[in-house]
Structure 1
Amino acid sequence: MLNHAAWVTHNVEATANFYTEIMGMDLVSTVFDDQIPSTGDAFAYFHIFFRMRDGSTLAFFEAPGLPARSEVSHPAYDIFDHIALQAEDRDEVDRWAKWLTENDIPFVGPTDHSGLIYSIYFQDPNDIRLEITTPLDPHWNNHRDKAEVDLKAWCDAKKDADEKGEDVGEALLALIRSRRHARSVL
């Protein structure tokens, strides 16, 4: 079970309001001090925790004077890095979409990910991408054999292209296209 995942916030009040009022999580714990216990670094911080339905928590740190994050070098970082929170079913995902609309929070979706999961995406006040999702495939996270085959194919395509001095990105696109074509003829 996840204990907690933590990120930086530059406004703990806005973060607390969002996670309690919009996301419906409970504020369950806080710590503040002038020294980081794990490293001994001497700077003030406020650490805040919000509990989810399963008991795991999301947490944030605010430290005064902390500069803004650096710009990312590629838009994929802002898309791939996210927190996915599970809903009970499609109806709950749709209720979240309605709730976000009512609270003027823009979102993307709903999106059906090839019958695997159904999701919406939006940003918290810290520009952390959140996903509300529900499995469409009851075994969505139990496809180990396929996952191992896919991982090997991906890594082999990269190694093969690198050894041949070919463009790795193009080799991976060719792998994706060949897999897509194979699925379409079934």
Structure 2
Amino acid sequence: MVNSGIACQETSMPTASLPPPAPIQQLHHYAYRARDAEETRQFYEDILGLPLYHIIQSDFVPSTGEYCPYTHFFFRLQDGSFIAFFDLGDDQAAEPSPNTPKWVNHISFRVNTVEELEATKARLQAHGVEVLGVTDHHIFKSIYFFDPNGIRLELTAQLADEFQMLTESRTAHARLAEWNARKEQWRRERAAGQATAPLKPQQNDRPEVAARAQG
């Protein structure tokens, strides 16, 4: 069950009679707060090459009805999905989460080849953007950087083919179930004062990173 932080309303409809979930085809858009629309446009359109595609402006929020004037603008990816932003007209960027490392929350975009990845890295650096990588994740390679709003972005070139990814998927539920069981045990130990450090995963898929960090 997903814990949204909001108490769920009870429903009289039995679970068995619910319709199946609609097939989710692809990402439509991811939206984030922008400090300045033009600064953001220059980064995404002029540097990354994502065309500005759509703008919505209003004084009131359609979903909540609250008064909050905004300009909502969208950049289109090759697959027809979008990354979008809200400029609230106050020159304020979104505040980073105080309890989450800066590398955790990020958006990853895919390019076709490692050569394109390296070319984009050079282009970003020529525009004064600090870039980490190329980082080898075995099934893909990536570079990392921040946009003008403090959003961590990743560009990825896939290495693994569809067969390898399908093979990986066959163990995903079992591995997550093992993690969940260990986390339940860790919670009991923490409640009893026997565990203070965060839980570590049951296996290390990237031993070379640990060796490099410790060496």
What TM-score do the two structures reach when normalised by structure 2? 0.75
Conserved? CA contact 1:162–1:168, under 8 Å: no
Aligned equivalents of 1:71, 1:60: Cα separation in 2? 16
Bigger proportion of residues as helix: 1
Q: What RMSD over aligned residues (CA atoms) do the two structures have, in Å?
A: 2.1
Give 1:123's aligned residue: 146
Of all paired residues, the percent bearing the same amino acid is 31
Q: How far 1:173 sits from its partner (Å)?
A: 2.2
Structure 2 residue 197 is matched with structure 1 residue 173:
no
Structure 2 residue 79 is matched with structure 1 residue 54:
yes
Structure 2 residue 66 is matched with structure 1 residue 38:
no
Conserved? CA contact 2:33–2:86, under 8 Å: yes
Q: Deviations over 1:85-143 (max 9, x none)?
A: 00101111111111112211111000001x11100000111010110101111136533
Give 1:110's aligned residue: 134
Q: 1:141 to 1:42 in 2, by over 3 A?
A: farther
Aligned equivalents of 2:28, 2:80: Cα separation in 1? 8
Conserved? CA contact 1:88–1:134, under 8 Å: yes
Give 2:90's aligned residue: 65
**Relative to structure 2, which stretch is displaced further, 60-69 or 48-57?**
60-69
Structure 2 residue 179 is matched with structure 1 residue 154:
yes
Q: Which letter maps to 1:173? A: K
Conserved? CA contact 2:145–2:152, under 8 Å: yes
Q: Which letter maps to 1:2? A: L
Give 1:133's aligned residue: 156
Q: 1:168 to 1:180 in 2, by over 3 A?
A: farther
Give 2:14's aligned residue: none
Conserved? CA contact 1:161–1:168, under 8 Å: no
Give 1:184's aligned residue: none
Give the secondary-structure state (helix, strand or coil) at the position aligned to 2:75.
Answer: strand
Q: 1:29 to 1:161 in 2, by over 3 A?
A: same
Q: Which letter maps to 1:34? A: D
Q: Which letter maps to 1:110? A: V
What TM-score do the two structures reach when normalised by structure 1? 0.86
Q: 1:71 to 1:121 in 2, by over 3 A?
A: closer
5+ residue gaps, structure 2, are 1-25, 208-215
Conserved? CA contact 1:4–1:58, under 8 Å: yes
Give the length in aligned residue pairs: 177
